[in-house]
Amino acid sequence: MSYFDGFVIAVPTAGKQQFIDHATAIDPIFKELGAIRVVECWGDDVPDGKVTDFRRSVQAKEDETVAFSFVEWPDKTTRDAGMKRLSEMMKTDERMDPEKNPVPFDGKRMIFGGFAAVVDI
C-alpha cells in the first residue's frame, strides 16, 4: 500500500505565485526519486478551531495562508531510499540551492511526517 509524506506550512499570502513557482521547480525531484505524485494545496477553507487548528499548528500570521502538501510513494522502502537520496542531493543539486530557488516560507514552522496508509477506498 502507498506511503505518504505530509506537510503543513504557512506561506505569505502575497507570495502564492512564488510558492507555486518553487513547488514547480522542486516537486519533480520527488518524482525522480520514485514518488508516484506530489500535490500542493493552497488553503481555501481553513477554519479556526476551539482547541487547535491548522493555522495554530504552524503559527500562521494574519498575512499568511496555510498550505498542505503531500508526496505519495509506492511504499515506505521507496520513500526511505528517496529521502536518503534527497538529503544527499541537497548538498550538490543546484535545483536545491536556496539562492537560486528560495524557499517561500519559514521552514522552522513547517510540520511534517510520514504516514502508512491503513484504508484506501
How far apart CA 17 and CA 32 sit, in angstroms, is 24
Mean pLDDT by 10 residues, the chain (121 residues): 97 97 95 98 96 97 98 98 93 83 91 96 93
- Phi then psi for residue 30, to 5 deg, are -60, -40
How far apart CA 70 and CA 104 sit, in angstroms, is 17
What does the pLDDT read at residue 95? 85
- Domains (range + CATH), the chain: 3-116 (3.30.70.100)
What does the pLDDT read at residue 99? 82
**54-to-23, 36, 46, 63, 116 alpha-carbon distances in Å:** 20, 26, 7, 15, 21
